Amino acid sequence: MITLIQNGSVVTKEGMQVLDLLFEEDKILQIGHNLKGYDHLIDATNCYVTPGMIDIHVHGGGGHDFMEANLEAFQKATDFHLFHGATSQVPTSISASNEAITAFLNAYKQAMNSNTIKARLVGAHLEGPYLSPDKKGAHPLHFLRHPEFEEYSKWIENYPFVKRMTAAPELEGGLSLGDYLHNQGVNPSIGHSNAYGLTIKDAMNHGYNSVTHLYNAMSTVGLHQGMKAAGVAEMALLEKDLYVELIADLKHVPVELIKLAYLNKTADRLILVSDCLSPAGMGEGQFFLGPENDKVLIDVKDAAYLHNQPTLAGSIATVNQLLKNVVSIGIDFIDAIKMLTITPAKLMKLDHLIGSIETNKCADILIMNEKYDLVHVICQGKIIR
């Protein structure tokens, strides 16, 4: 079946213009004016037509956490985020036992092979367990450890869909972890790190090419070995090549610092992520984070906090909300779309398939009204909403 999306303001590499678009199954056939030869018509007059969004850091949603490590959790969480515009998702673990992380990876594999997941699964992200105890955030302290080749090589070799790992490069073994991941085609990301200045430069020379959730759980300028030094936050802004994740839920990062990151990194290196937790879409109350037998209690209000503490545990935002948030603070709409589509696609080395509206690329398309509310979500050529 060939579908025509007619008369929408289509966001392409060249900018935005009113165009028609034809797709069939999971392929964009043609983009142009007055296109004909279709079986199904979607009128997109007065609507934006954008690429599907890519969330490279998401822990769960719709009441389920990927660390539940079963097919149902993967279905419910991916469906929830797909409905809100994340056509591609990178399910993310938290620091846990070897068994719990392996179970998460087995569940990913089961989900991938089940043909029941409607969103595009584009890799797994291991956030931890090789994180700094000084910057643990919501990760359970007793699971943090130094990188151990025996452990991580099994995750990477047995589960080739692992595409990202967040680690603290200053830990003993942190740089050889970076080299190993880089050589295996996995993106090592600096995060939950207490590194300073030269250690961060070193990490970049050992394969680390991104920074996880800028301004959260990382060092900032301060005294290091008796000298003032730049922390991960400043180095992330300074180093042009580093991709940078930013949680744009307007809770994790103040507006001024979002603007500072946007000015420094530009839409070519800044990636908006949800870092979303299971309670998203479930209202306020008490929820759990992490694997079944090692749960962390969280309080959900305007965001998710560690129980009875002011520490943020993650967001309850969807990618569509991230878009609205950054546009509301004055960031250019087309740049905002970039930071949710082609830029993460480039980091994931999937920009030849997804992340932009181009002939022959995958049919992951969003249609939004003038308030950026989603009217339609199309993923892998299927109309989801």
Site size toward Zn ion (CB under 5 A) is: 1
The nearer residue to Zn ion, 91 or 137, going by C-beta atoms, is 137
Question: At its nearest, how many Å lie between Zn ion and the CB of residue 61?
Answer: 16
- Kindly tell me which of 51 and 137 has the beta carbon lying closer to Zn ion: 137
Given the complex with Zn ion, which of 50 and 187 has the nearer CB atom? 187
Q: Is the peptide bond before 147 cis (omega within 30 degrees of 0)?
A: no
Q: In the complex, what is the shortest distance from the CB of residue 78 to Zn ion, in angstroms, rounded to a whole number?
A: 20
State the minimum distance, in angstroms, from the CB of residue 255 to Zn ion.
Answer: 21
Q: Report the nearest approach of Zn ion to the CB of residue 359 (Å).
A: 38
Q: Return d(Cα 303, Cα 283) in angstroms, integer.
A: 10
What CA–CA distance (Å, rounded) separates 81 from 122? 14
- 107-146 binders of Zn ion (CB under 5 A): 137
Which residues on neighbouring strands pair with residue 189, listed in sequence order? 166, 210
**Choice between 177 and 313, CB closer to Zn ion:** 313
Q: Alpha-carbon distance 156 to 148, whole Å? A: 12
Q: Hey, which residues does 43 pair with through a beta bridge?
A: 6
Contact code string over 25-44 relative to Zn ion, x by CB under 5 A: --------------------
Q: CA dihedral in degrees (86, 140, 124, 333; nearest 10)?
A: 30
Least separation in angstroms between CB 7 and Zn ion: 42
d(CA 5, CA 13): 18
Q: Measured between alpha carbons, how far is residue 301 from residues 236, 268, 276, 280 in Å?
A: 30, 33, 14, 11
Q: Which is nearer to Zn ion, 92 or 356 (CB)?
A: 92
- Summarize the chain as % helix, strand, coil (round to 5): 30, 30, 40
Least separation in angstroms between residue 227's CB and Zn ion is: 28
Residue 82 or 289: the one with the smaller Cβ distance to Zn ion is 289
Residue nearest to Zn ion (CB): 137
Residues forming the site for Zn ion (CB under 5 A): 137
